[in-house]
Amino acid sequence: MRIIRWILLILGLLIILGTIPITKWALLGLILFIFGIYQSKQLRAGKAFGKGILLKPRLLMITGFIFSFTMAMIFVEPVEESAKNAKQDEKIKSEQIKKEKQEELEKKKTEEKKKEELAKKAEEERKAKEQAEKEAQLAKEQAEKEEQARKAAEEKAKQEAAASMGLIAATVSRVIDGDTFELSDGSKVRLVGVNTPESTNRHEQYGKEASNYTKTKLEGKNIWLQKDVSETDRYGRLLRIVWLAVPTSDSDENEIRSKMFNADLVINGYAEPSTYPPDVKYSDYFVKFAREARSNKTGLWAFGEYGTTKGDLDPKETSTPATTSRNSSTSSNSSSTSSSSSAATAPSSSSSGEIEIFANCTELRKKYPNGVPAGHPAYQSKMDRDKDNYACER
């Protein structure tokens, strides 16, 4: 019986202790319960104090138990609700934390993915740039090779064309006059088929302009020389046609106009055509160009219809004897016959007392191929262009 009592006491005490977490009011019930146990022990020992209910320990224990239990029942719902709410809040908070962690993780993954994509894109761009640069370099090298091949082919074609037309490359070192210059090897060249006004030994109108123009166009430049028939004149100067560039055809008028310097001088009014057989390959072109320049009063043609120097467009003169034989005893018929014979044969002896008049050097050379010296019946100062006392020399 005593054991059962102690079991009940312990059980009641445990229940009361269990109510304390629910509400602090249960402590009062615990105090009453413990005091009841104490009074019960004191009562058996005869040492109990107080009176009335204090002397009823069982009632105290039951009251304490009931009080604690009742308080627990009163406060249990709010506590449970609070605990439930707290648990719910904890759950929400936990879920929120979990969600935040998940979001943070997703954000981190997104950022890492973005970084990877950017890195991948940068790598692709770098490779694409390298590939583009490589392709550009290859294209540049290919273009350079093609350009070199093209230039080589053009140079070869130019050399072949030059060789086929008898053109020889040369470099002009010094311009002497409008129609005369010196090459880098020291050779002097006289332009064929044209004559510019003098600007050295004697000065003719527009001579200085012609000389300056030739300097501008030729001095220090690479040119192409072409021989007509004659190699040199009596001064040892090379007689040549000058091409500024290799023509596609040396008989094409457009090529002659645009690339031949002899023609350029005539076209721009710096020279007159001056033909000396047998170098007559381009004489017709030069005369045509001169007539065009004269009609436009270009250059030296602005000074008059015959220009400022001698050339093929000067007026023609008929070859006639200037005097008759001094033999006064000859009859008029004999005199007429003698005059006709003199005109036909154009005697070369000055002792005859006659002079020969030719329209130009072309006419004179038909009879005197190498020209005539001063004192000769056919000598005329106008045909001695360089004033060396020798007319119409080659």
Any idea which residues carry the catalytic annotation? 190, 198, 237
The answer to whether the beta carbons of residues 322 and 357 sit under 8 Å apart is yes
| Residue found by looking up tokens 């005869």 in the block | 46
Residue 196's nearest CA partner among 254, 147, 261, 260 is 261
The answer to whether the beta carbons of residues 257 and 292 sit under 8 Å apart is no
Instruction: Give me the residues paired with residue 373 across strands.
Output: 390
Conformational region of residue 269, where left means phi above 0, alpha means psi within -120 to 50, and beta covers everything else: left
Q: How far apart are CA 323 and CA 320, in angstroms?
A: 9
Q: How many CA atoms lie within 13 A of 330 on its CB side?
A: 12
Q: How far apart are CA 301 and CA 309, in angstroms?
A: 10
DSSP annotation of 276: B
Beta strands in 148-235 (DSSP E): 167-177, 180-183, 188-191, 194-195, 222-226
